[in-house]
Chain A
Amino acid sequence: EVQLVESGGGLVQPGGSLRLSCAASGFTFSSYWMHWVRQAPGKGLEWVSRINSDGSDTSYADSVKGRFTFSRDNAKNTLYLQMNSLRAEDTAVYYCARQNWNYNNWFDPWGQGTLVTVSS
């Protein structure tokens, strides 16, 4: 069974840092591009970042560019999202998602999410 499990969320003060992880299983992780998408409480979905299969290329939403770093360890089947200089508006559930070529590179599946709260 394909599974994505996020961890690392929590409460952090404005200006602080946090590192999220996403553990993948049930598929050949190193063959897939992966994404982070976030959802502020009671709001819609916002794409955050993308990484290619070997980790050599990333892209970011303007809202996080320069503050967040997306990386992966294919030996550990794990994604990482390093979040620095956090702001209140970064408060959200963060989901990792697989870009699935079986469905022309749309997002399938998604993890269950991890909540990040930025507050003093």
Chain B
Amino acid sequence: EIVLTQSPATLSLSPGERATLSCRASQSVTNYLAWYQQKPGQAPRLLIYDASNRVTGIPARFSGSGSGTDFTLTISSLEPEDFAVYYCQQRYNWLTFGGGTKVEIK
């Protein structure tokens, strides 16, 4: 099973700041990685697929990068609605999710 490790577990930032979230895979997943956003009481929402492609309607402040084992989700300037939990997911070998990074208001 491919294990995805997300770091940090919690990111405390202020609106307007840049957020950098990491997802590391236990083995290469090439670019078969996606990022989801989940707000309290809501279902996850797909943000980024194939490591770097933004879903239609997702603001340009969200960007994804990386390949192989190391991936990054960047939010260039945090808006109040961006404070949430973010999960990465791989489907290179079966389907697994990372443990999540909570982006909270500092």
A and B are interacting partners: yes
- A residues near B (Cβ < 8 Å) are 35, 37, 44-47, 50, 95, 100, 103-113
Contact B43 A45 (CB under 8 A): no
Chain B, 56-106, CB within 8 A of any chain A CB: 87, 89, 91, 94-100
Give the nearest-CB partner of B32 in chain A.
A104
Q: Say yes or no: A45-B49 contact (C-beta < 8 A), given A105-B91, A106-B34.
A: no
Instruction: Give me 15 A-to-B residue pairs in the complex whose CB atoms sit less than 8 angstroms apart, sorted by A's number.
Output: A37-B44, A44-B87, A44-B97, A45-B36, A45-B44, A46-B97, A47-B94, A104-B50, A105-B91, A106-B34, A107-B34, A107-B44, A108-B55, A110-B43, A113-B43
Count of chain B residues near A, Cβ 8 A: 21
* Distance (whole angstroms) from the CB of A1 to the closest CB of chain B: 13
Q: A100-B46, A110-B45 are in contact. List 6 more A-B contacts (CB 8 A).
A: A44-B87, A45-B97, A47-B96, A103-B53, A106-B46, A113-B43
Q: Is the interface of A mostly helix, strand, loop or mixed?
A: strand
Instruction: Tell me the bound Cα distance from A50 to B94 in angstroms.
Output: 10
Q: Say yes or no: A104-B96 contact (C-beta < 8 A), given A45-B87, A95-B43, A110-B44.
A: no
- B residues near A (Cβ < 8 Å) are 34, 36, 42-46, 49-50, 53, 55, 87, 89, 91, 94-100
Give the nearest-CB partner of B46 in chain A.
A108
Q: For B46, give its contact among A35, A37, A95, A107 (CB under 8 Å).
A: A107
Contact A104 B43 (CB under 8 A): no
Q: Say yes or no: A104-B49 contact (C-beta < 8 A), given A44-B98, A44-B99, A45-B87.
A: yes
Q: For A44, give its contact among B34, B43, B100 (CB under 8 Å).
A: B100
**Nearest 7 interchain pairs by C-beta:** A110-B43, A47-B95, A108-B46, A45-B97, A106-B49, A106-B34, A103-B49
Give the nearest-CB partner of A47 in chain B.
B95
Which B residues touch A100, using CB under 8 A?
A: 46
| Residue among A45, A111, A112 having the largest count of chain B Cβ atoms under 10 Å | A45
Give the nearest-CB partner of A4 in chain B.
B43
Q: For A103, give its contact among B55, B97, B100 (CB under 8 Å).
A: B55
